[in-house]
Amino acid sequence: MSPPRCGDERDAMTTPEHVAIIMDGNGRWAKARGLPRVAGHRAGVEALRKTVRAASDLGVGWLTVYAFSSENWSRPKSEVSDLMGLLKLFIRRDLAELHQSGVRVRVIGDRVGLAPDIASLLDEAESLTAENRALNLVIAFNYGGRDEIVRASRRIAEAVARGSLESSAVTAEVFAGFLDTAGIPDPDLVIRTSGEQRMSNFLPWQSAYSELVFLSCYWPDFTQEHFADALRQYAARERRFGGVLPRGVAQGVAS
């Protein structure tokens, strides 16, 4: 399937700094081929590898990928274990290459309760690549937006109880600093594959003003062309953040 085209002459001026992707549709991709779901997840890892390279080629500075949600634990045990195995394989196999390409890895989501080998691989990926600057890859693993907000609120409550934070000092900016994404810019664009049009607990705080692009392809079929098409759709959007733009002035030609 070739992706729909949505040409816009402004695209070069409006590349999003941060793209976040809900990589959905691995199971249906496999089902359509008469394969077990794990085959879809394996193909999904290949698509992720290509997408990391594509992000650099397309000039995106931050790429966040939704790899495993806090609700995905409700899947059959064998599928959860396949997904854990694939994450380990991805980091073991790709970490050296990611590091060589200057990719900085950061992981968001709850680390508590993860198997020790997974937790230490995630730590290793972050520490090895901490000084890299070519591309920031944020992996949302055991991530749920509500869980993230609850954990942040708990830490804020503890800081107030300790006396190290005044409750009146808690602004949106301060709150954001307690989230897993502290220091990470909000996503400009969120892409979801597989035709579903929902957020599934992905970055609810951070995506308040993100542009959303829903693609019908399943995640394993996602290519650089689909990525470029989503960026073209983004470039044609007019972001207003609750304000108004002067008549006839659209994003990308305003300044």
Enumerate the active-site residues.
24, 72
Q: Give me the least distance between CB of 194 and Mg ion, in Å please.
A: 6
> Residue 19 or 22: which CB sits closer to ligand IPE?
22
Q: Which does 72 bind (CB under 5 to 8 A by kind): ligand IPE, Mg ion, none?
A: ligand IPE
- Select the residue interacting with Mg ion from 24, 94, 180, 221 (CB under 5 A): 24
The tokens for 29 are 């991709």
Distance CA 223, CA 114 (A): 31
Total binding residues toward ligand IPE, as defined by CB under 6 A: 18
CA–CA distances in Å: residue 10 to residues 13, 195, 215, 250: 6, 26, 21, 10
- Binding status of residue 83 toward ligand IPE by CB under 6 A: yes
- Binding status of residue 194 toward ligand IPE by CB under 6 A: yes
Backbone φ, ψ for residue 119 (5° rounding): -60, -40
> Exposed/middle/buried for 222, CB within 10 Å: 0-12, 13-18, 19+?
buried
> Residue 24 or 229: which CB sits closer to Mg ion?
24
Distance CA 121, CA 128 (A): 10
Which parts of this chain interact with ligand IPE (CB under 6 A)?
22-28, 66-69, 72, 83, 194, 196, 198, 200, 219
Contact residues for Mg ion, defined by CB under 5 A: 24
